[in-house]
Homo-oligomer: A and B are copies of this chain.
Amino acid sequence: MKYLLLVAHGSRRKASNDEVRQLAQHMNTLQHDYDAVGSAFLELAEPLIPQGIQDAIAKGASEVVVLPYFLSAGRHVSKDVPAEVSRVREEYPQVKIRIAPYLGSAAGIAELLLAQANEK
């Protein structure tokens, strides 16, 4: 089973965390290569990243793709998210866990922004 985990920073503002959760649910309804899409947070909201990965494994995931919902390649993307993922990787060496490139590096983001500029 292949699981996609959308990972955001997490906010003190509940609505921002709910926005991420709803986005993952929406992704789940689209056509994709995964058996399920879920969400997790680096801090300030639950589940935290290790818990999110463990939940996926408990559901039967043999492969987890962690997708950083971040706009810039700062410390969170380069160090903090990988560190959280590493903790789980050591516990479950039989599960393939891969971190995808962060959202801000997506080739299509420029086109998406140009389209968004026309929205009211």
Which residues of A are at the interface with B, using a C-beta cutoff of 8 A?
4, 6, 8, 11, 13, 15-16, 19-20, 23, 26-27, 30, 32-34, 65, 67, 69, 71-75, 100-101, 103-106, 108-120
Q: This chain: how many copies in the complex?
A: 2
A-B contact pairs, 12 of them (CB 8 A): A4-B117, A13-B75, A23-B109, A23-B113, A27-B110, A32-B114, A33-B117, A34-B117, A71-B103, A101-B116, A106-B113, A112-B112
Q: How far is the CB of A49 from chain B (nearest CB, A)?
A: 16
Residues of B with C-beta under 8 A to A105: 116
Q: Are A113 and B69 in contact (CB under 8 A)?
A: yes
Residues of B with C-beta under 8 A to A116: 67, 100-101, 103, 105-106, 108
